[in-house]
Amino acid sequence: MSAWNVDKIDEMALPPCHTLFQFHVQDKELSCQLYQRSADMFLGVPFNIASYSLLVCIFSEILNLKPGDFIWTGGDCHIYNNHFEQVKEQIQRKPMQPPSLQIPKFNSIEEVLKSTPKDFRLVNYSPMESIKAPMAV
């Protein structure tokens, strides 16, 4: 699936950074590979990884498959100059135990569209204090 909509690029602040993705089914698992043509490693990439991982879980539920691997591939991977201090702070942190995700039973895209964020739960999620950084466009 491509996020690239050529006839709309001139209307966008930026062309889509997460350009295309594909699903793969093997051994009753649904995996996804995302290609990101431009990758803001501090702000954008973590959000894209979380979003597409959630998408894998949602489609796995609809298709009655287990969530498989999420593979991220980046083109122009960069850290903006005004994010250096935030990145230094981030890499000094020690990783926490990951939470688990609970989502409703979905049988169709229509059911997903009727859901709200309250229908999704991160169990045993212990977030660290957020690190603020300006968005670069």
> Residue 41 gets which letter from DSSP?
T
Known catalytic residue at 17 = yes
Stated length of the chain = 137
Which tens digits make up the pLDDT trace of 74-111?
999 999 999 999 999 999 999 999 999 999 999 999 99
Predicted local distance difference test score (pLDDT) of residue 1: 87
Quote the CA–CA distance of 9 and 25 in Å, as a whole number.
Answer: 32
Cα distances (Å, whole numbers) of residue 71 to 42, 48, 55, 74, 116: 18, 12, 13, 10, 27
Sheet holding 66-78, edge to edge: 18-26, 29-40, 66-78
Which pLDDT does position 41 carry in this prediction? Answer: 95
* pTM > 0.85: yes
Catalytic choice (17, 32, 57, 77): 17
Angle at 58 between CA 15 and CA 45, to 5 degrees: 35
